Amino acid sequence: MGGLAGAAIIQLYIVVAAFREKIVQGILCLFVPGYILYYALKEKRARLLAGWVAGIIALIVGAAMLS
C-alpha cells in the first residue's frame, strides 16, 4: 500500500508541475500513457522519477510477497 501511495503522490506532483509549465503538457501527462516518464526525463526531474519508480517497485515486491 505504501508503494502505491508514494507513486501516486509523486505522479500527482509531476502532473501539477507539468500543468504549471504548460497546460498541454499537463493534459498529456494525465491522458497519454508513458508521457509522464518522457516529461520527467525531459525536464530533468530525475529525483521525482526515481521516487516514482521506487514506489512502483515497492508495489510489485509487496504484491509478489503476498502471492
Residue found under cell 503476498: 66
What single-letter amino acid sits at 63? Answer: A
Q: Which domain holds residue 43?
A: 2-66
Quote the pLDDT of residue 54: 85
**Does residue 23 carry a pLDDT above 90?**
yes
Model pTM? 0.74
Question: What pLDDT, on the 0 to 100 scale, is given for residue 19?
Answer: 94
Other C-beta atoms closer than 10 Å to the C-beta of 58 total 17
**How many degrees, rounded to 5, is the angle at CA 7 between CA 6 and CA 12?**
100
* pLDDT reported for residue 11: 86
What is the number of domains present in the chain?
1
pLDDT tens string 24-67 = 999 998 899 888 888 888 877 778 888 888 888 888 888 888 88
